[in-house]
Amino acid sequence: MGRAFIGLGANLGEPVETFGAAMAALGQAGRVVAVSSLYASAPRDMADQPDFTNAALELETDLEPADLLITLKRLELALGRDPQGVRFGPRVIDLDILAMEGRCVDDPELDLVIPHPRLAERRFALEPLAELDAALRPWEACGDERSARTVADLLPGVADQQVRLVTEGGDWLRT
């Protein structure tokens, strides 16, 4: 089994309930072994929408990257995401593969890039990921100049972005 790190985001509906449903369903794709705190952040690319709620989880899985992506996209649809929705617009759920340990993927045909192509630019993704594994080197398998950088190394580069802690630890799962 390998480790996959999944980012969860939503700004419509009831994000905590939707995240809980997503985690329960992901149990069929592997084993959820850790869950971050909940964070809130203002939208970045399209300002006229509600703030986002974000979290991350660590999933032990045997799925290959393409199969994990398909699983996440199907799950988004099942949880009510509009596949025709505006890019960077409001959504009930967004599930992104942030990183997969030992994997570097760039598959334009599947629109799949691992680690997530904008991970280093997004505090709302890095902050919860750092809780799960601050020493994780997302690009280690890529063998390029980013290979030695840890999640903790990336955080100072997004210090200007505001992210608010909403609920510390995985306790939000019980609310």
Pull the structure tokens for residue 111: 């629109």
Q: What is the dihedral of CA 125, 129, 17, 24, to 10 degrees?
A: 130
Catalytic residue selected from 51, 74, 91, 106: 91
Would residue 81 show up in a list of annotated catalytic residues for this protein?
Answer: yes
Would residue 51 show up in a list of annotated catalytic residues for this protein?
Answer: no
Catalytic residue selected from 94, 123, 133, 137: 94
Would residue 44 show up in a list of annotated catalytic residues for this protein?
Answer: no
Question: Whole-angstrom Cα distance, residue 49 to residue 157?
Answer: 25
Helices assigned H by DSSP within the chain = 15-26, 65-78, 123-133, 151-154
Would residue 67 show up in a list of annotated catalytic residues for this protein?
Answer: no
Q: Would the CA dihedral through 19, 22, 27, 32 be positive or negative?
A: negative
DSSP letter assigned to residue 138: T
Beta strands in 62-172, from DSSP E residues, in sequence order: 94-100, 105-107, 112-114, 163-167
Give the angle subtended at the CA of 35 by the CAs of 135 and 18, to the nearest 5°. Answer: 140
Question: Whole-angstrom Cα distance, residue 77 to residue 79?
Answer: 5
Catalytic residue selected from 3, 48, 74, 96: 96
* Catalytic sites, residue numbers: 81, 91, 94, 96
